[in-house]
Structures are given as C-alpha cells and as structure tokens.
C-alpha cells in the first residue's frame, strides 16, 4: 500500500503541488511586475504612476483584477461563441505552460526536461493560436486584421529567436535549461556568461523577445493609441484580463529565458564569498527583474515602429545577423576544437 502510494500517487501529487506553487508565485509576481512596468513608465514621463490603492499603489494590480472580474462579459452577437471564449484561455494556458521547465534555482523546476529548449520553442510557437482564434471568432474586420498583423509579427520574430537558441545550444551542447546554466559557470564570474561571449545574439534575442511578446516599440497588434486594441477589440472583462495576463506571463518568461540563456541563471555574479551567500533564486529573480526593467525602459522611451519597418528589421536585419552568427560560432567551435562536453544519454 505504502509502496503503491510512493510510486503512483506521490509523483502526481508532487507535480500538482509544484505546479500550484509556481502558478501562485508567478501570478503574484506578475501583479507586481505590472505595477513596476507602469511605475517605470510614469517615472520616465515625470508622472507618479498608480499611487492610490495601498502604500505606493502596491495593490493597484489587485484592484484592477477585481474590476475586470466583476464586469459583464460581452460577447458580440455575430461572434463564434465557443472559439471566442476559448481563445483567451489558449493564450493564458500556453503562456503558463512554458513555466513548467524554468529552473529558478538548481533543481527548482516542475519538470527537468532534456529537450527543454525544444519544449520552450514548441510551446511558444503555439502562442499565435490564441490570437488568430480570438481575431477570427470576434467576427470583426478590425479584430481579424489585428490578428493577421500580430501573427505575421510573431511568426517572423520566432525565426530569429530559433537561431539564437541554436547558437546557445551549439556552445553548451545541451538542450537542458539546467545544464545550460551550469555550462556558464566559470572562474570569470559574470564575464563567463554568454551575454559577453555571444553579445550580438544577446541583443538580437532581446529585440526579438520584445517583438515576440508584442511589447512596445513593437506593440503594433495593440497600438492602443491608434488601433484600439487590434485582435482584442471585442474582448471585455475576464477574457480580456486573460489575454493581458497571458501577455505579461510570456513577458516574464522571456525575461527568465534571457536570464537562463545569457545571464547565468541562478549563478552569483562572482564566485567569491559575499556573493555566494545569497541563495540562487534571489540571483535569478534579481536578474529577471533587471531584464524586465530594460523591457520597461524600452517601452518608455522608444517610439512605436511602423509595420513595414518592423518586418524589415525582423527579416532583413536580425535574421541575417543571427544566421551569420550560427555559422561563425559553429566554425569557431570546429576550427579551435572547442566542442562542449556532451553528456551522453
């Protein structure tokens, strides 16, 4: 009986508890990151930002949440009800699903997949479905056009993200996110992380991550000042909240992924005494929030791109650079015999 419990019930229970912990912490973190985003934006524009609800406006996101939830859900009469309702769930679920493999510290993840990077890429490439479904089911020209724009944008930038991931895994020789972080461990501390070694790719990844998550300056799908909200135009109340939540969760995921791929994950900046006292997850959170700060600053001071400029940047600038880097990195590894120690099986 005990053995049955240990082999059959316990693993499922443990996965359930792990997932719940990740979800709850993540959603609370997203609430505060949203506030941080608005505060950064406000500070750059010499405003105060949200400061009424709670001390320093700390509870603003929760107030917004309650407001969204208590509003009436409006479904357009011409809409395809089932797909209209299910689309925001698709976005939100997929955004949360990638978090299953993010190692917050050594061994702190729901699942340690050997094909971690492929999983990330597979799930994030599905993110477009939430948008297409929402845009189509709204039965509105504006929503549909917004969805088309958004999909084209996400598909274009996925290509360069793919090449960036390939360069990183050429250097590490593994697709496992935990091993990618461990491969960045060296005596040079923060200068041994890949942001320095693969600096062009770090920049390409940052820009592509902005475009992939529809963040300003690439927020053309929404473009709230010109287009109302693109594919979300017909959405209100909780479904709208789910879209926004999904978007912010994927933004946090992109920050976490940047941290893992280029900023050494949970590793301390230098492997000496005062830095090693701080536990790994604190480093991870600090680095991720740092990347999020950069996301917020870009939003605050870069004007929005035109659509053709966006496409040009994706296909004619970032893609050739990342393709060239794949070739260069592979050549250097081959020429100087720098093959990573590939862990077999």
Partner 1 sequence: MVAGIFFYIFAIFLIASAIMVISARNPVYAVFFLILGFFNATGLFILLGAEFLAMILLMVYVGAVMVLFLFVVMMIDIDFKELSKGFLQYAPIGTLVGVILLAEIIMVVGGYVYDAETVRSAAVPIPDVNTVSNLEAFGLLLYGEYVFFIELAGLILLVALIGAVVLTLKTGSKALRQDIATQVARTPATAIEMVSVKSGQAFSTNDTIKMNKRD
Residue 318 CA to residue 159 CA, distance in Å, equals 9
Q: Identify which of residues 121 and 270 has a Cβ nearer to partner 1 in the complex.
A: 121
Q: Candidates 17, 118, 302, 327: give the one binding partner 1 (CB under 8 A).
A: 118
Residue 160 is a binding residue for partner 1 (CB under 8 A): no
Cα 217 from chain centroid (whole Å): 16
Token couple for 40? 């950064």
Count the neighbouring beta carbons within 10 Å of the beta carbon of residue 96.
20
Q: Candidates 32, 89, 129, 315: give the one binding partner 1 (CB under 8 A).
A: 129
Q: Identify which of residues 21 and 324 has a Cβ nearer to partner 1 in the complex.
A: 324
- Binding-site size for partner 1 (CB under 8 A) equals 27
Residue 151 is a binding residue for partner 1 (CB under 8 A): yes
- 8 Å CB contact between 183 and 340: yes
Residue 272 is a binding residue for partner 1 (CB under 8 A): no
Q: Candidates 83, 297, 300, 323: give the one binding partner 1 (CB under 8 A).
A: 83
Candidates 185, 208, 179, 201; CA nearest to 116 is 179
Residue 193 is a binding residue for partner 1 (CB under 8 A): no
Q: Candidates 65, 126, 228, 298: give the one binding partner 1 (CB under 8 A).
A: 126
Binding mask 307-326 for partner 1 (x = CB under 8 A): -x---x--------------
Residue 178 CA to residue 154 CA, distance in Å, equals 27
Name the helix (H) or strand (E) containing 254: helix 237-262
Residue 278 is a binding residue for partner 1 (CB under 8 A): no
Candidates 134, 306, 127, 157; CA nearest to 229 is 134
| Omega prior to 217 cis, within 30 of 0 | yes
Half-sphere exposure of 24 (CA within 13 A, CB side): 6
Shortest Cβ distance from residue 122 to partner 1 (Å)?
4
- By CB under 8 A, name the binding residues for partner 1: 8, 83, 113-115, 118-119, 121-123, 125-126, 128-129, 132-133, 136, 144, 148, 151, 155, 158, 175, 308, 312, 344-345
């Amino acid at each position: 009986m005990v053995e049955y419990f240990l082999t059959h019930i316990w693993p499922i229970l443990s996965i359930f508890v792990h997932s719940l912990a990740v979800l709850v912490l993540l959603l609370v973190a997203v609430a505060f990151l949203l506030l941080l985003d608005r505060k950064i934006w406000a500070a750059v524009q010499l405003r105060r930002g949200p400061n009424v609800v709670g001390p320093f406006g700390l509870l603003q996101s929760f107030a917004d949440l309650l407001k969204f939830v208590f509003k009436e859900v409006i479904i357009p009469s011409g809409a395809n009800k089932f797909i209209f309702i299910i689309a925001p769930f698709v976005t939100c679920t997929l955004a949360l699903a990638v978090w299953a493999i993010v190692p917050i510290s050594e061994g702190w993840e729901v699942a340690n997949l050997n094909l971690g990077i492929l999983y990330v890429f597979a799930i994030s490439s599905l993110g477009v479905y939430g948008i297409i479904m929402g845009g189509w089911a709204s039965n509105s020209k504006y929503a549909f056009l917004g969805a088309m724009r958004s999909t084209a944008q996400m598909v274009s930038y996925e290509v360069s993200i793919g090449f960036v991931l390939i360069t990183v895994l050429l250097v590490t020789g593994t697709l496992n996110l935990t091993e990618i972080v461990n491969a960045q461990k060296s005596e040079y501390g923060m200068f041994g992380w890949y942001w320095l070694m693969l600096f062009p790719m770090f920049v390409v990844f940052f820009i592509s991550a902005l475009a992939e998550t529809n963040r300003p300056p690439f927020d053309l799908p929404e473009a709230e000042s010109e287009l109302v909200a693109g594919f979300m135009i017909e959405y209100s109340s909780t479904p709208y909240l789910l879209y926004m939540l999904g978007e912010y969760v994927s933004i946090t995921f992109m920050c976490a992924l940047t941290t893992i791929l280029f900023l050494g994950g949970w590793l301390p900046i230098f492997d000496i005494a005062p830095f090693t006292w701080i536990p790994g997850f604190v480093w991870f959170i600090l680095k991720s929030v740092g990347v999020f700060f950069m996301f917020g600053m870009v939003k605050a001071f870069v004007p929005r791109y035109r659509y053709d400029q966006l496409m040009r940047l994706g296909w004619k600038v970032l893609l050739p650079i990342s393709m060239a880097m794949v070739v260069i990195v592979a050549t250097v590894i081959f020429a100087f015999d720098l093959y990573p120690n590939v862990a077999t099986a």
